[in-house]
């Protein structure tokens, strides 16, 4: 029972999407970042995407808090009505 061996390669920091039609592929967004020269390798592209996700998460929290508790509008009256 302990003689089980796996033949899968041990890729470090090589992100592959799920197997579609038997051939693994690099995610499209990572390919885009590499092709445009925004990232120098897959690890750098992943870090860029994680930072972008963090920024979007932070912005969504701010928008949610402002939606739940909107700032009060200051109403100024000029003279009598």
Distance CA 27, CA 63 (A): 30
**Per-residue CA distances from 20 to 38, 67, 75 (Å):** 27, 41, 60
Distance CA 17, CA 26 (A): 6
Q: Tell me the pTM.
A: 0.60
| Mean pLDDT score, 36-58 | 95
Domain boundaries defined on the chain: 1-70
Each residue of 1-44: pLDDT tens digit? 577 776 665 555 566 655 556 667 788 999 999 999 999 999 99
């Amino acid at each position: 029972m302990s003689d089980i061996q796996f033949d899968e390669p041990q890729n470090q920091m090589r992100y592959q999407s799920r197997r579609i039609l038997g051939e693994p592929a690099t995610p499209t967004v990572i390919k885009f970042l590499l092709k445009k020269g925004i990232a120098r390798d897959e690890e750098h592209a992943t870090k860029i995407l994680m930072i972008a996700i963090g920024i979007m998460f932070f912005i969504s929290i701010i928008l949610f808090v402002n939606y739940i508790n909107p700032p009060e509008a200051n109403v100024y009256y000029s003279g009598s009505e």
